[in-house]
Chains A and B, each alone.
Chain A
Amino acid sequence: MKAVKRKLSTPLRSLVLIPLLLISGWFSTVVLAEIEIHQFKDSQIEARFLRLSDELRCPKCQNTNLSGSNAPIAKDLRDQLIRLLKEGKSDQQIEQYMLDRYGDFVLYRPQFKQSTWVLWLGPLAVLLAGFVLISRIVAKRSVERLAASVEDAETDTKHPSVRQGGSHVTDSLSISEKNRLDQLMSDTSLRKTPVDQNKS
């Protein structure tokens, strides 16, 4: 480390030092505002504090969490949060504590209960309704397409066997008709220029 320092020339050193000084100056105000955070001796409690203060909403500022707000009430609630953590309260107890005082608003992810189930299940219900709607439209369209193609076949062909409604056209052909069909299929001169059977 010392070797590296010695190698730096003076202009280069100032190039590194000046931004460092600026950054440290900026951090000193942050540290003042968040001085409580640095009193944690237990890293686990610190992690829980960070998680909870991200998860809890500042009641004064509409859409900022406790960790992101510098409103006085957010500071008070952060302090209270630390107090509760040091008292050994569980995350659930702390959330309930805040809930008892500030209502559902204070949790970014409100508990699932009678007054919040629409919030939780509403999007899912809309999604499901969308799926149902789309699948019904698709099903309806494919039925329509099938009906249309059958209709086309019925109007275009003059062959009586199709009108009888047989699904396999060849089943309803008479023996002479089958022979004629075989003859046509084996005719190589026709095979080179395939022509729609219906129209020929």
Chain B
Amino acid sequence: MKRLKLFLPLIAFAGVCAFLYQGLQLEPSKLPSALLGKPFPEFVLTALRDETKPLGRGDVVGKVALVNVWATWCPSCRVEHHFLNEIVEKFGVVIYGVNYKDERDKAQQWLENLGNPYRLSIYDDTGSLGIDLGVYGAPETYVIDHNGMIRYKHVGVVDMRVWEQTLQPIVLELEAVALASGAGMAE
């Protein structure tokens, strides 16, 4: 018993080391989203391609989908863009785009040049939808279920690895749930 007590400081030290080492593995810039499990926020904005066309929550809710927040001023978005094109082409995923604090002309030009992976593009000029979504930097990608609930948030570039390892399993699972709960909503 006494000999065991001698090792107590060493054990405590090892515990602190393990705790701090684990801290090293964490990415402090990736915040957990406060919106997981909450409904996609209401919004009143316009379509990127047509400023007279109003868009609202009803336009993006109804099926399992990704919501991608992007802007032309964001270099990582350019990196990400062709992956989004590829994902839509290969897997037929629905992606809604939120053009975040951008210029309409530039954004339209971007989609023309690089291809348009988005089912719909929402033009969020002031970043109001961004604030309601808890966006703090582009690109960010949300997964919403068929009820319009936010199920996952990915901060940073979506590439094939992120898609295959993280997003696709979530999407597939949510689609299975949507099918099971009555295919009416899931199209």
Q: What residues make up the interface of A, taking CB atoms closer than 8 Å to B?
A: 59-60, 62, 72-73, 76-77, 80, 99-105
Check A76–B131 contact: CB distance below 8 A. yes
Check B34–A99 contact: CB distance below 8 A. yes
Check A102–B29 contact: CB distance below 8 A. no
Check B28–A62 contact: CB distance below 8 A. yes
User: Which residue on chain A has the smallest CB distance to residue B132?
Assistant: A101
B131 to chain A: which residues have CB within 8 Å?
76-77, 80, 101
Q: List the 6 closest A-B pairs by CB distance, nearest first.
A: A103-B34, A59-B136, A101-B134, A60-B136, A73-B136, A105-B31
Q: State in angstroms the CA–CA spacing of A60 and B134 once bound together.
A: 11
User: Which residue on chain A has the smallest CB distance to residue B127?
Assistant: A76
Let me know if B133 is at the binding interface, CB within 8 A: yes
CB < 8 Å neighbour of A72 from B34, B101, B132, B133: B101
Chain B at the A interface: mostly helix, strand, loop or mixed?
loop
Residues of B within 8 Å of A, CB-based: how many?
19
Q: State in angstroms the CA–CA spacing of A194 and B133 once bound together.
A: 88
Q: Give the distance to chain B from A129, nearest Cβ to Cβ, in Å.
A: 11
CB < 8 Å neighbour of B134 from A62, A76, A103, A104: A103
From known contacts A73-B136, A80-B131, A101-B132, infer whether A59 and B31 are also in contact, taking CB-CB under 8 Å: yes
Q: State in angstroms the CA–CA spacing of A72 and B135 once bound together.
A: 12
Let me know if B35 is at the binding interface, CB within 8 A: yes
B130 to chain A: which residues have CB within 8 Å?
76
Let me know if B15 is at the binding interface, CB within 8 A: no
Chain A at the B interface: mostly helix, strand, loop or mixed?
helix
**Can you report 22 A-B residue pairs in the complex whose CB atoms are below 8 A from each other?**
A59-B134, A60-B136, A60-B137, A62-B28, A62-B29, A73-B127, A73-B135, A73-B137, A76-B127, A76-B131, A99-B34, A100-B35, A101-B34, A101-B131, A101-B132, A101-B134, A102-B136, A103-B32, A103-B33, A103-B34, A104-B34, A105-B31
User: Which residue on chain A has the smallest CB distance to residue B31?
Assistant: A105
Check A102–B134 contact: CB distance below 8 A. yes
Q: Give the distance to chain B from A187, nearest Cβ to Cβ, in Å.
A: 51
B35 to chain A: which residues have CB within 8 Å?
100-101
A59 to chain B: which residues have CB within 8 Å?
31, 134, 136
Q: Give the distance to chain A from B91, nearest Cβ to Cβ, in Å.
A: 30
A77 to chain B: which residues have CB within 8 Å?
131
Check A102–B34 contact: CB distance below 8 A. yes
Q: State in angstroms the CA–CA spacing of A73 and B28 once bound together.
A: 17
B31 to chain A: which residues have CB within 8 Å?
59, 102-103, 105
Digit string of B126-145 for contact with A (CB within 8 Å is 1, else 0)?
11001111111100000000
Q: State in angstroms the CA–CA spacing of A99 and B131 once bound together.
A: 11
A105 to chain B: which residues have CB within 8 Å?
31
Starting from the known contacts A76-B101, A76-B130, A101-B133, 11 additional A-B residue pairs (CB-CB under 8 Å) come to: A60-B136, A60-B137, A73-B127, A73-B137, A76-B126, A102-B31, A102-B34, A103-B31, A103-B34, A103-B134, A104-B34
Q: State in angstroms the CA–CA spacing of A183 and B125 once bound together.
A: 107
* 8 A Cβ contacts from B103-143 to A: 126-127, 130-137
User: Which residue on chain B has the smallest CB distance to residue A58?
Assistant: B136
